[in-house]
Chains A and B, each alone.
Chain A
Amino acid sequence: MLVRRWESLILVLLVGVCVWAALGVDGFANTSNVSFLLLDTTEIALMALTMTFVIVAAEIDLSVASTLGLSCAVLGWLWNAGLGIELIMPICLLVGALCGAINGLLVTRLGLPSLAVTIGTFALYRGLAYVILGDQAVADLPAAYTSLATRPLVPLGLVAVLGVGAAVLLHATGLGRAVFAIGANQEAAFFSGIRVKRIKFWLFVAGGAMAALASLVFTFRYASARADNGVGLELAVVAAVLLGGVSIFGGRGSLPGVLMAVVLLGVVRNALILADVANEVLNFVTGLLLVASVLAPNLGALWRRRFTSQQEVS
């Protein structure tokens, strides 16, 4: 109920901001700007897909942007070493999956909180990226791929296909149900025969692999493989997921909501940049939206708790 209302709110907000920007901001409402702003959200959108699963399962992964950076560094390093790009790409995906697997093992086998684990690997993977590639930028990448990545339909098509797949997986399959159950009450999920640890492990692996996929898009889009690619993106990803109505406590949320929130954040950013708003204000607005998105559902829940369901509470 609340989720649906929240999604509608995001949609209204998105339409409202678009209308305001189209009328009031010069250079917003034209094809090239719109396709540019959408293209600019590709990596965030991709990582938000798997992050939605992770947060719905009441975990978090703050290392995704560092995984992206590490994958970029591996790409640049292997390219310099003379390997073919068709071979490098699957290796990058494996590296990403491995990063996710390390997170997953630390969380599920050692029972460590994912917040602490991924803050650690956030530094670890980024550090490793610098060790591998130093501060050089590998830019002589094959033109076939760089031009592919800058053609809006290709990355957006990728997001669309994976987005539909992820939405079906989360909302219409047994795995999705299990993820919601884990996030809402891990113990009851375990007592229901759901393989809690195994599922969480694979969510982290998928998150790592997705970050690597995002790194390929990123690298080709900017035609530059650097160790500092995507610094800070993890916050944008988490912000989009929470703004999209996923509960930070797990167990609630929807993928369509998250995708709308990704676009909303992209539009706001783009419109503010076009309106010559200072970068500091940009960050302020993003932060404000994030705080509001975490606060609002909880205020709602508090309000509801005050007026209902008092009879059964001991």
Chain B
Amino acid sequence: MAVLALSDVSKSFGAVRALRGVSLKLEAGEAHALAGENGAGKSTLVKILSGVHRPDTGQILLNGSPVTFGGPADARHAGVAVIYQEPTLFPDLSIVENIFMGRQPRTRFGRIDRAAMAEQTGRLFAGLGVELDPEQAARGLSIADQQLVEIAKALSRDAKVLIMDEPTAALSGNEVARLFGVVKALREQGCAVLFISHRLDEIFELCQRVTTLRDGTPVAEDLIADITPDDLVRRMVGRDLDALYPKQDGVPGEVALEVHRLTREGVFTDVSFRVRRGEIVALAGLVGAGRTEVVRAIFGIDRQDAGWVEVGGRRLRPASPTAAMAAGLALVPEDRRQQGLVMDLSIDRNIALAGLAEVRRGPLISRAAEHARAQDWAVRLRLKFARLSDPVGVLSGGNQQKVVLAKWLARKPSVLIVDEPTRGIDVGTKAEVHRLLSELAVGGMAVLMVSSELPEVLGMADRVLVMHEGRLVAELPRASATEESVMSAATGRTAA
């Protein structure tokens, strides 16, 4: 019998039907994947299982009998634990204190029983094979370690169902492997796991069963053993997908971006490279290798301690995004919600934000020019929207990313830097973004791409630069870049 199941569940928000007739069974000892594009209803489903939302119709079944979750506390009490992409620990408390937050064991005299807490934590960590100091403060833990703490916290509550909502989005390869080791162990101990990820290879590695949602409706439930990744993609998008990495070969032209011995103490050291017009250069490496920090410094977000950046042969003033933009640089940042967009502003105003000088008539902003600029790029990027005056926050993740791209492409940059351009966006949009980047490069733009997804790096880049612990350790031309060569450089096993 399923530990936790949904039976014919529907949920609407206003006029939007987020889920329609969804049934799902989570069995003990089984990892069940939930696949679907952004906006397919995965998050809503998680929120129903975790007690955040109540279904409009249908039932939640716990060990076969219907239950009502009045809130997240009820779900937690029933043994459902959710691990999010961004863990929510208290940074100033120790690991132990985080695990037992709100339900610390007491001694006979009513004081918090630190010894019991430490002992239980030790046992949990030993069971998980985790090596962390339980007395360490949560601040400074990597996201991967924080997730392990969250898992330990869930287990200390006797969780029977572990829901993981894109837990790997911010993890590096090793960290993913370690997380999967832990999850597999839990599965074998009889936990039911619901796993959500945009990375198909992870679904195929970890799970036995997959339910696919499309537009809130369940389209298929398959045993992983019976299908291929291509089958799964077809179920998610409902059509055959064009190649995910439609890379065309461009002709490299003159040097557009030159980075010379760029150093930011304690972050990255002596980074030098060039990007030519017409090529896509990928900056690969593990999370924390300093890739994002390098592109931030190039764009002038942070000040470097040494070295310089040249664009089109002219040296940039350090620490000035304005100067970088004037020279023809554009940066599509890593965190689109926090850095790429102003969520409260409308789509057209967001697109105009990086080019306020270009939508002016005299001293005043021209609404017409602003609208035309947005309209033009919305059509070119096939943006799905109701009105350009809607707040950008109502769009799905993939469409938000298109707005960020539109905002920067409208400036007609000579060098486009994209940091994790397809993180957290659905497969369909991903292929569109890849095609766009390829077309831009062929059209003569220099593209520098930071990506943690190896298939993306290998599929899109003309050259791959690999960083390890703040240094550039390898430069691999497209022909010799393989998963093995990039990973061994990224983990510091070879030096170039």
Contact = CB atoms under 8 A, between A and B. Distances in A.
Q: Do A and B truly interact?
A: yes
Given A180-B345, A184-B345, A191-B339, A307 B331 contact: no
B39 A184 contact: no
Contacts of B363: 173
Contacts of B184: none
**Chain B interface SS verdict (over half):** mixed
Interface string B347-359: 0010011101100
Contacts of B321: 190-193
A253 to B, nearest CB: 12
B16 interface: yes
B364 A173 contact: yes
A177 interface: yes
Contacts of B339: 187-188, 191
Contacts, number: 93
Interface string A166-193: 0010001110111011001101111111
Nearest to A191: B339
Contact of B338 (A178, A180, A185): A185
B345 A181 contact: yes
B43 interface: yes
In this complex, the interface size class of chain A, counting residues with CB under 8 Å from chain B, is 20 to 34
B102 to A, nearest CB: 22
B490 interface: no
A191 B345 contact: no
A314 interface: yes
A176 B360 CA distance: 13
Contacts of A312: 43, 393-394, 396-397
Nearest to A196: B321
A168 B364 CA distance: 8
Contacts of A313: 43
B322 A185 contact: no
A252 interface: yes
Nearest to B359: A174
B409 interface: no
Interface string B122-151: 000000000000000000000000000000
Highest count of chain A CB atoms <10 Å: which of B331, B353, B357, B363: B353
Contacts of A31: none
B18 A174 contact: no
Interface string A207-244: 00000000000000000000000000000000000000
Nearest to A177: B356
B341 interface: yes
B333 A189 contact: no
Contacts of B166: 314
A311 B13 contact: yes
B322 A314 contact: no
Interface string B301-326: 10000000000000000000110110
A109 to B, nearest CB: 14
B344 interface: yes
Given A181-B342, A187-B339, A310-B53, 19 more contacts: A174-B357, A185-B338, A185-B343, A185-B344, A188-B338, A188-B339, A188-B342, A191-B333, A191-B339, A193-B322, A194-B353, A252-B344, A308-B14, A309-B393, A312-B393, A312-B397, A313-B43, A314-B84, A314-B85
Interface of B: 13-14, 16, 18, 39, 41, 43-44, 47, 53, 84-86, 165-166, 301, 321-322, 324-325, 331, 333, 338-345, 349, 352-354, 356-357, 360, 363-365, 393-394, 396-397, 407
